[in-house]
A and B are shown apart, each in its own frame.
Chain A
Amino acid sequence: MYRIYGTRYEEGKMGLILEVKNLTKKFGGLTAVNDVNFEVHRGEILGLIGPNGAGKTTLFQLISGFEKPNSGSVRFNGVDITGKKPYQIVNLGMARTFQLVRSFRYLSLLDNISVACLSPRGKEAFGEIGIDAAASSILASVGLVDKARLPPVILPHGDLRKLEIGKALGTNPEFLLLDEPFSGLAHEERVGITKLIEQLTDEGVTIFMTGHVLHELMTLVPRVIAMHQGRLIAEGPPKEVANNRIVLEAYLGRGEEFA
């Protein structure tokens, strides 16, 4: 088997893969993302936590180009990608998954992945071994190869999550944004996804993922940032952040309110 994704991660080529500066997004009177600053290091897994409505998904939308920020900038690999179209960003090497799973309903799983492999970046990476071979290889790595000919509509939710990651891998990403990869999954399915994510990091893919339930991320992620009402409120190892007073207040409310 050939290694199909990753390996751009080289020792000594550490550094910042993503720099977010003063990012702000307003929807009418609501400031969904408020002056957010953070960095993602090459090769790491960074977690983003926060209660529902904290602005995690909006932040993802801004980074991946689906929404345009009101102010601030996003740099990926040193290139300013603020205001670039989603497909352009994908072809620079940043792929994402969605919180609500998306799939091409009337295409087989194999074709679902093929579409990603047919993107300019995917073609560049997989053109030599052939799109179909690459797509089935990716399907195998996410554990869906025996269902290659089925349409996604009949799959259980857990498989759709895997497909979602497979589609992102088809574009040969070096940076992967996973929006709630665990949501709605049973325990065994969560273990499968965790393994997949670990395997990807081993291959050198940098990962930035969200989750609103803390303990899911705890074991997987060495560093998290926490968000509340559009602002970053804490950063550090998950244990510390989880015990941070401000974070606890964000999740549970202030002590006085319950008194």
Chain B
Amino acid sequence: MVKLQFDWESAGNRFEALVNRFVKWAFSFRGGITLVCLGGLLCLPLTGREYLVTIVITAMILAIFAASWDLLAGFAGQTSFGHAAFFGISGYFTAALVKFYGVHWFVAIFIGAGCAVIFSLLIGIPCLRLKGPYLALGTLAFALILYNLFLTGDWLGGTEGISALPNIGDVFVVFYIVAAFMVASLIIMRAIVDSNLGTILKAIRDDEVGADATGINTTVYKLIAFMVSGLFAGIAGALFVLDTTAVNPALFQPLYSFYAIVMASIGGIATIYGSIVGAFLFRLTGELLRPLAAASLLIFATILILIIRFAEEGVMNPVLGHVQDLWDKIRGR
């Protein structure tokens, strides 16, 4: 007879090992910094400054968005200039579901993200034959087509879009919901790029012919990268729309795609977590530069050029490296 017994001992051991690993990580330099920052972030609403909290909410949503771009471009090497397409599609579907069908927002997020995944396949399949700058142009074109479709079409509100969605809750509730989504999304994305799947994606990025010659079906894996990236971009889009309680075709603008690229580059490409740093820096500077209106874009473009020229790694890893050196010196004394 088969014993249907739960192996408590081995499960316990595994749990213990997991806890040990977590404790070791938490007391390492990077783990410590991460936890301190996370703790600080979660305490932010306690200050009661609603305006600041609103800004940080957007920053967190954009962090998911930038990280999803980073996964596709930084790890799989498929540079997309049309990431706003996934963002917008999911945003529109979520808004329509919540507004017209009364779907619960939590369910709507995942349906919206699912639509983004399907759409990422629609974009991915024809664009797979394109490489480098041609892929960038192809994806850009897709996003522009969507922009114009939603702008000129009568469905889903045309130019006006859909507005006056029901609020999820008050701003502090939204803050914790978005924070949970950000932490979960980024941990999942990081786990993906650290897994075997991630190794294969990096191999395709480094040398597609070589990956083919080692028996990897590059087409399938590139599509997987598109889908995973589309999923998280979709989650970001859905959250964005639920947060602003409105959606309009502007979501498809190339501007949002460029935002993702700027944020990921500032934080550091191929890091995933760099996107958080990038998104927060981007959002906070954006708020400071608000008086400059459109001219602020000029400044971001300049920053992007400077980063590409002088700090290819972005700011997160080099800064952390320097701080760690300093920390080691202080402790060594």
Contacts and interface: CB of A to CB of B under 8 A. Distances in A.
Interface of A: 64, 66, 85-87, 90-91, 95-96, 98, 102-107, 111-112, 114-116, 118-122, 131, 167-168, 170-171
B203 interface: yes
A87 B212 contact: yes
Contacts of A131: 196
Contacts of A107: 199, 202-203, 206
Given A87-B218, A114-B196, A118-B196, A104 B203 contact: yes
Interface in B239-294: 270
Contacts of A104: 202-203, 206-207, 210-211
Interface in B87-109: none
A119 B216 contact: yes
B297 interface: no
Contact of A103 (B200, B210, B217, B218): B210
Nearest to B209: A102
Contacts of A87: 212-213, 215-218
Contacts of B209: 66, 102
A102 B270 CA distance: 21
Contacts, number: 82
Contact of B213 (A95, A112, A114): A95
B215 A90 contact: yes
A102 B205 CA distance: 13
Nearest to A120: B215
B270 to A, nearest CB: 8
B202 A106 contact: yes
Given A104-B206, A106-B202, A107-B203, A170 B213 contact: no
Contacts of B211: 104, 115
A138 B226 CA distance: 32
B212 A105 contact: no
Contacts of B205: 106
18 contacts: A64-B213, A87-B212, A87-B215, A90-B212, A90-B213, A90-B214, A102-B210, A103-B206, A104-B203, A104-B206, A107-B203, A111-B202, A114-B196, A115-B214, A116-B215, A119-B215, A120-B215, A171-B214
Contacts of A98: 210, 213
A115 B216 contact: yes
A118 B216 contact: yes
A34 B146 CA distance: 50
A114 B207 CA distance: 15
A124 to B, nearest CB: 11
B200 A118 contact: yes
